[in-house]
Amino acid sequence: MLSTLLLLGSLAAPHLGAGALPPTPFPVQDEDLEALLDEYEEALKDRESSDQAIALMDRLTSRFKTTVERLAEVRDDLELGQGDAKALKAEAKALEKELDEIAEAVHRAFVHKRRKRVTQENLRLWTAAAYALGQMGERGAKYLWKAFEDKKFKKEPDFRGLLLEQIGYTHAYDYADELMKQLDSYEYLFIAKAADALAQFAEAPGEVRREIVGTMVKLYAQNYEDALQNQNDPEKQEKYRKTSGSMARALEALTGTQQRDPVAWNRWWNEHKKDDSVWTP
């Protein structure tokens, strides 16, 4: 049961965003995956079939979730010594492969040869793909980060910000370092979205949270000090204004406490950074 809860918890995420179709009830566990993947591939090929591709992407996401649930059950049975161990191990292997196939298929929306150009229609499709991958745990995080680094999105900061934000919903804690690097980005939107993503890591191991908080408190306080000392510098003012809210919310989520301002957060950090009881998993 514990592994079931952990797996399901790692998939918490918002619904598909603007441009995506609402979830369609569908008995995905009874649907032939290969047929679904083939239909999805055909929709990607046709630039006029973005709505269909998004609807199929939603079905793939539902299939991913039911597969995760079944995989958790299989792992529980193996852990408890129930059932045919050999058969269960074979099923687990097949389920892992299925999860890989689904995540890779959703990612194909970003790299398909018929979807290379940055257009409003493709951005709508890619936005749906970002929200879908945000519900696919570590597998989704891998592809979200890959898309974030894709040079074709260099002039699309809003979309890249969404990719960063969705990494948080995957609860893929291995990406904490990459997100923390964005807290000092030249792009203020990336700072805010990275902080929003890290706010979703409230259940991360204590050492991960401690490292995030230490980095964020330092930058938060520095941005505040720069804004105070440079009242006539619009860049300093804008940086603090556009990032402070996200940083404050992330710090509250990661520590379970509230502080008045960046100075108070800096004081709190100095008092608690070595207090292991605060960072107990």
Residue range 107-119, pLDDT digits in tens: 999 999 999 999 9
Same domain flag for 4 and 105: yes
* Domain stops at, among 171, 197, 219: 171
Q: State both tokens at 4.
A: 């079931």
Please check whether residues 87 and 149 belong to one and the same domain: yes
The pLDDT, as a whole number, for residue 180 is 98
Give pLDDT tens digits for 171-209.
999 999 999 999 999 999 999 999 999 999 999 999 999
Cα–chain center distance at 226: 30
pLDDT in tens, 10-20: 444 444 444 44
| Residues 58 and 50: beta-carbon distance below 8 Å | no
Which pLDDT belongs to residue 10? 46
CA distances from 94 to 43, 89, 212 (A): 26, 9, 36
Instruction: Check the CA dihedral 212-217-222-228 and report its sign.
Output: positive
Same domain, 7 and 118: yes
For residue 113, give Cα distances in angstroms to 26, 43, 127, 148, 154.
29, 13, 18, 18, 19
Same domain, 160 and 23: yes
In the chain, the number of structural domains is 2
Q: Of 171, 187, 205, which residue sits at a domain end?
A: 171
pLDDT in tens, 243-257: 999 999 999 999 999
Q: Are residues 15 and 120 in the same domain?
A: yes
In this predicted structure, the answer to whether residue 24 has a pLDDT above a threshold of 90 is no
Tell me: do 279 and 197 sit in the same domain.
yes
Per-residue pLDDT, 281:
75
Give the C-alpha separation, 91 to 77, whole Å. Answer: 12
In this predicted structure, the answer to whether residue 68 has a pLDDT above a threshold of 90 is yes
* 2 and 44 fall within a common domain: yes
pLDDT at 152 over 70: yes
Please give the residue that has the higher pLDDT: either 28 or 64. Answer: 64
Q: Assess whether pLDDT exceeds 70 at residue 26.
A: no
Q: Does the global pTM surpass 0.85?
A: yes
Which of 171, 202, 233 is the C-terminal boundary of a domain?
Answer: 171
Looking at the structure, do residues 39 and 101 belong to the same domain, yes or no?
yes
Q: Rounded CA gap, 247 and 265, in Å?
A: 11
State whether 81 and 113 are in the same domain.
yes
* Average per-residue pLDDT for the chain: 91
Domain hosting 235: range is 173-281
Provide DSSP, 212-255: HHHHHHHHHHHHHHHHHH-TT-HHHHHHHHHHHHHHHHHHHHHH
Residues 253 and 199: their CA atoms lie apart, in Å, by 6
At residue 280 the predicted structure's pLDDT band, cuts being 50, 70 and 90, is confident
Q: Is the domain of 114 the same as that of 226?
A: no
148, 238: one domain: no
- Does one domain contain both 246 and 130? no
